Each structure stands twice: as structure tokens, then as C-alpha cells.
Homo-oligomer: A and B are copies of this chain.
Amino acid sequence: MRVLIVGGVAGGASAAARARRLCESCEIVVFDRGEYVSFANCGLPYFIGDVIMEEADLLLATPELFAKRFNIEVRTRSEVTAISASKRTITVTNLRTGVEYLESYDALVLSPGAQPFRPDIPGIELAGVFQLRTIPDSVQIKAAVQGARRAVIVGAGFIGMEMAENLRLQGLEVTLVELADQVLPPFDPEMAILAQERLEENGVVVRLSTSVTGFRDDGGLAVDLSSGETLPADLVLLAIGVRPETKLAKTGGLEIGPRGGIVVDDFMRTSDPNIWAVGDAVEVHDLLTDNWKLIPLAGPANRQGRIAAQNVVGRDGDHEVSRFRGVQGTAIAGIFGLAAAATGASERTLLRAGIEKFGKVYLHNDHHVGYYPGGKAIALKVLYHLGDGRILGAQAVGEAGVARRIDVIATTIQHGGTVYDLAEAELAYAPQYGAAKDPINVAGMIAVNNLEGNLPLADWAHLADTEASVIDVRSPKEFASEHLQGAVNIPVDELRQRLHELPDHKIWLICGVGKRAYYATRLLRQRGFDASNLSGGMKTWRALAASGLAAR
């Protein structure tokens, strides 16, 4: 069997190695138009930032290693330009010699990846305007950083954020320009704002709701913004997302989906029975919203490559096949020591998918018990189905323990688990590693209380126009330092004695992070008051207000 693989990074490299492990007798050839295969594209911002010192460190495997270890032929600088699905051939151009030739296959695996989006902006072709996708890209940017003083990054997604950090730590003045009204689009605004604040604390200038209208050579490079502002720059990075690379797939007549990605089934097979496709170029099934999506992430790409190979090769001639379970969008980024991680759907994603029956809780528990020194607060938001309590998504931002909590919730989502499961989770605890009631447990308990009617949650979005009286149950000292407009202060420990001061209509309770207000909510509801809790307390309010999602 002759297996040809187009694209030698992540999905393609995984497919090739897995195919060999299952089929020693297969002929396996990998084509890549670039100079390198199997390189660490997620490491490129840190290579530019001199965190990863050597270019060689980025090479996870070389063509020589593929040859020696796996008996796989890798042809670099070899662009596959056309597929004839009926003849089972591909057309290859050797970019070193210009020679074009045909290769035939029994099975073809496409892992062409995605290209950085380059919008049609005047001057985008100017020297000094970079994109970051390959090692040569990163080498160019690294060279440009030498002697540069001012950088403009367009796009505040994961790569934009990581590059802002790495360029800033190299001493550059960095401005981050983002079309949306928030950074980190996979996050809801009140979580993303925490990352934005961290950027700004570290001297990165953030311009939201702003687009680039043009680049000009004005002696140096000048970046014109929709705001009318012009930013001088020694270096510009475009990080405004990627588009699936489907030109080749189209030559083979493969079905392309409504989002512009290659259509595959659960077995990573395209519309042609002899062609599979994996990685950033394919549309994947989103497990939370049941939609198909483009989710360019390394983890799924690697697993898809493995699964495609298993289906290509089969085992022992039988028809055993391997299914890709879909994607839930687990991701994480580091921003100046802060980790921002998410899994499942955001609130916005749910609403877009027409899923409106969800609850949300906020908490700010430390990553380990407070009595052990060094605890760092994790801002955690969990979204769940208001019927059965199924977890729909979670976002977490903090300096420690963030990946761990998101991974636990990701695993719970993988198993269709609920907030009841979070409440009951038995996690590793010692004082320096967590809490007997881990933030995960507490998130689950709050949501269960909400689901079971014990803890109605007030709607932050209506803080400005609610008829409820807001009662702040913190200490007078805390109240004095900052409080919601119109809030009345009755400390939780005095509440039982001061019930006569309370109105007989709707009451919204608030405290620092939601815990004392929860006690107060329970107390008041049992005494017949119509009380609700403002989840996450003043800490969440600050983030919501800064994002324009709650009244100031």
C-alpha cells in the first residue's frame, strides 16, 4: 500500500508515524512545501522571545529521523499542486528545481494546515509587516526585533497575546490593535479583561474596537487606525487568525464546508473514499454546540492524524476503524505569568448556537488553601445546562492551578458530566496543592445550589435597571473602600438582627467574592425574603463593569 501525506507538521507527521507503526510494509511519503517538517509551531513566539534559544530546539523531528527511524520518505520544498481523485495521483512541484511530477497513491492524507489571514489593507505588502506561521517567519521577525523600538500587533488572539508578551520582554514598545471590543475571543469579555489588564500592567498598549486602515512607508512604517490615530512602527505582526488551506483539496473536487474547511466524516475521511484530511484545514464537530467549526489547535490535529492513519491502514486487513470524537475547544495561553484557559463553549458561543437555557457561576477561590502561604486566586466561570446540570463550558484566569482546573472540567465535559459531578469530584489535596473543597468542588456546589433552587442568581446585566435593593453584606470597612451605587451595607453577621431594615421586595446580595452573600441568601430566603446572589461578588463586578457588562 502506498500512503502519501501532504503536510509534515502536527497532523501530517502524526499520521505518517502512526501509519508506519501499524504498517511496516506500506510505502509512506510525506510532502511539505516548506524546509522543515514536524516543527514546534506553538513555540515560535517563545523562540522570537529568546525563551527557546536554539532554532534546532523547534525541530521535533527531521527528514533524516523520519527516514532512519520510521523508513518514511520526507520530501521538503515539494509543493503538491493538484489531486486527481479518479486517477489517484497527485501533482508535485519540486520547489528547488521547478520540476513537476506525478505520484500515485492508494491512500492520501491531507494535512495542509491554515494560512495566516491577510486582509486587503493598503500597504500590507510593505517590508516590516510580518505574519507568524513557520520557522522562516520567526527567523525574519527575530531579525527585525534587533534594533526595533516599536511594534504593532494586529489581533489579540492567542498568538497576538503571546507575541505581545515576548516582544515587550525584549524591550519593545508594543501596541496591540484588536477589531473586537475585547482580547482573547474564545473567552467572554469579563474573563478576557483580566488578561487585558495584565497586558496593560506590563506596559502593552491595547486598542480595542479598532482596525488597521492602512500601512504606509512614512520614512519608517506607519500604521493608520480606524480611530484616526497613526502608530509609527519598526515592526508589525499580523495575528488576525488563519484560514484553512483548501486550494489543493479543491483541485481534487473534495467537498468544502460552509466555513471554508475541508469536510470530513467522524473517521477523518473526505468526500473521496481514498482521501483523508486532518488538522487546521478541516471542519470539526463541536461537541458542545453540535455545530461544525474551524478550531485550529495542535492537540486535536495530532489525534486526528493518528486516527486518519488508523483508518487508512486498518489492522490485519479487517475493517476496524477509528472515530474522532470531535472537539471541545480546550485551550490555554500565558500572559506575563497569568494563565487564561477555557474548555467547551463560552456564553457568547452558546447564545450564537441558540442555547439559552444555561446558568453561570463565578468564583475566585485560591488555587490552594488560604492558610498555606502563596495561594493565588483563580477567576473561574462555569456554564451549565439549567435543566440537567450538564457542563457546557468553563473559563479560568489566574497565576497558578489554572490548567489543572480547566483540565478537570474538560474531562468532565468529555464524559457528559454535570455540576453534580464537579461537586462530588475527589481531587488531590494537601495544603500546598489544593483544598479539601477544591475550587472545582465549590463551583459545582454553587451551581447545584442554584439548580436546586437554593441559590437564585441575580442577573448582573440588569444591575442598572433592576428594581431589587442591593444589600452588601461585607464589613463596613470593605464597603467604605468601594461599593455598588445605591447598595446598602448590612454585614452578614448582623443580618439576623437587622431583618427589619430589609425591604419586602426583591433583594440582591453582594459581598467580596460571593461566599458571604451566599450565606445571606440562604438566611433571607428561609425567612421569606425574595433574595438572590450576585455571583462572584465585587471581584466579578469589577471585571464586568470594566467590560461594559454591568453598571458602574
Q: Are A369 and B43 in contact (CB under 8 A)?
A: yes
Q: How far is the CB of A551 from chain B (nearest CB, A)?
A: 29
Contact in complex: A492, B69 (CB < 8 Å) = yes
Q: Complex formed: what's the CA distance from A423 to B304 in Å? A: 12
Q: For window 381-414 of chain A, which residues contact chain B by CB distance below 8 Å?
A: 402-404, 406-408, 410-412, 414
A46 touches B431 (CB 8 A): yes
Within 8 A of B (CB), among A309-334: 315, 325, 327-334
**Is A25 on the interface with B (CB-CB < 8 A)?**
yes
* Chain B contacts for A300, CB-based, 8 A: 426
Q: Are B407 and A332 in contact (CB under 8 A)?
A: no
Q: Are A431 and B43 in contact (CB under 8 A)?
A: yes
Determine the distance from Cα of A445 to Cα of B372 in the docked complex, in whole angstroms. 37
**CA–CA, A403 and B25, complex, Å:** 42
Q: How far, in angstroms, from A343 to B188 measured CA to CA in the complex? A: 33
A51 within 8 A of B: yes
Minimum Cβ distance to chain B for residue A317 (Å): 13
A22 to B299 alpha-carbon distance, docked (Å):
44
Among B42, B43, B51, B411, contact of A412 (Cβ-Cβ < 8 Å) = B411
Chain B binder among A222-230, A518-526, A533-541: A518-526
* Residue among A52, A58, A407, A434 with most chain B CB within 10 A: A407
Across the interface, do B404 and A437 meet the contact criterion of CB distance under 8 Å? Answer: no
Q: Which of B330, B427, B438 contacts A427 (CB 8 A)?
A: B330
Pick the contact of A428: B332, B414, B426, B432 (CB < 8 A): B332
With contacts A21-B519, A523-B24 known, is A331 near B52, CB below 8 A? Answer: no
**Contact residues, A153-184 vs B (CB, 8 A):** 158, 162
Do A428 and B407 form a contact, CB below 8 Å, given A43-B369, A332-B433, A339-B433? yes
**Does A373 have its Cβ within 8 Å of any Cβ on chain B?**
yes
Tell me if A519 and B69 are in contact (CB < 8 A): yes
Does A79 sit at the interface, judged by CB under 8 A?
Answer: no
A493, B69: Cβ atoms closer than 8 Å: yes
Confirm or deny: A510 has a beta carbon within 8 angstroms of a beta carbon on chain B. no
In the complex, whether A483 has a CB less than 8 A from a CB of chain B is no
Does A208 lie at the interface of the complex (its beta carbon under 8 Å from any beta carbon of B)?
no
A429 surroundings in chain B (CB, below 8 A):
42, 297-299, 330-332
Please determine whether B299 and A426 come into contact, CB atoms closer than 8 angstroms: yes
A329 to B23, CA, bound (A): 41
B residues in contact with A21, CB < 8 Å: 454, 518-519, 522
A416: nearest chain-B partner, CB-CB: B415
Q: In whole angstroms, what is the CA distance A158 to B433 when docked?
A: 14
Is A550 located at the chain interface by the 8 A CB criterion?
no
Contact residues in B for A434 (Cβ distance below 8 Å): 332, 403
> Known contacts A404-B404, A411-B412, A441-B303: does B24 contact A430 (CB below 8 Å)?
no
Please tell me if the beta carbons of B426 and A414 are within 8 angstroms of each other in the complex. yes
**Is A101 interfacial (CB-CB < 8 Å)?**
no
**Residue from B158, B414, B430 within 8 A of A424 (CB atoms):** B414
B424 touches A371 (CB 8 A): no
A-B contact pairs, 30 of them (CB 8 A): A21-B518, A22-B454, A24-B527, A25-B526, A40-B371, A43-B371, A43-B431, A52-B431, A65-B493, A69-B493, A299-B436, A300-B426, A303-B441, A306-B445, A330-B428, A332-B428, A332-B434, A403-B427, A403-B428, A403-B433, A403-B434, A404-B404, A407-B408, A407-B427, A410-B427, A412-B415, A414-B421, A414-B425, A414-B426, A415-B421
Closest 7 CB pairs of A and B: A24-B526, A415-B415, A404-B404, A332-B428, A298-B436, A68-B493, A21-B522
